[in-house]
Amino acid sequence: MAFVAAMFAVHPLHVESVAWISERKDVLSTLFCMLTMAAYLRYAKRPSVSWYLLSIAAFALGLMAKPMLVTLPFVLLLLDYWPLERFDTSLNLEASADKPDRRKILYRIIIERFLSFALAAVSSVITFIVQKAGGL
């Protein structure tokens, strides 16, 4: 981890993020992006409300740091598909009558991701309105 931080600090493409205070949003959004993914991975392995809310809170803070994180819910969906394989009904389930079908699993995953997609949509609308008002 220290090696990655050192490379980020001295790499010519990102030295301004570390050296200039006005570019700290890159470092901050990256931190919250990684915190969101770590909390979500922990939630996916052992579901609990606290890990889910931590992932949503980290995502919201990341969006406030830099709106570029609006694509993160799609990344989390890709993580659900692979490597977590949460869409597969045959994993970790015995052959039984109460085995959930793909539709129920898909609905559960969509409901889990709804709040993060809603935050991304709100952030996109706010960013659009602010840029339009600023004349950009």
- Residues 51-63: pLDDT tens digits? 999 999 999 999 9
Flag whether pLDDT at 74 surpasses 90: yes
Better-scored residue on pLDDT, 84 or 97: 84
The reported pTM is 0.80
What CA–CA distances, in Å, run from 80 to 40, 87, 106, 136? 10, 7, 10, 36
Q: What percent of the chain has pLDDT above 70? A: 81
- Residue for token digits 């890990």? 51
Please give the Cα distance from 136 to 128 (Å, whole number). 9
pLDDT of residue 29: 93
Please state the domain count of the chain. Answer: 1
What CA–CA distances, in Å, run from 136 to 25, 126, 132, 133? 20, 14, 6, 8
pLDDT of residue 52: 97
* Sequence-distant (≥ 6) Cβ neighbours of residue 24 within 8 angstroms: 17
pLDDT of residue 91: 55
pLDDT of residue 16: 67
- Containing structural domain, residue 47: 2-133
Angle separating helix axes 72-81 and 102-133, nearest 10 degrees: 160
pLDDT of residue 48: 96
Please give the Cα distance from 23 to 44 (Å, whole number). 33
- Over residues 88-111, the pLDDT tens digits come to 766 555 555 566 688 888 888 989
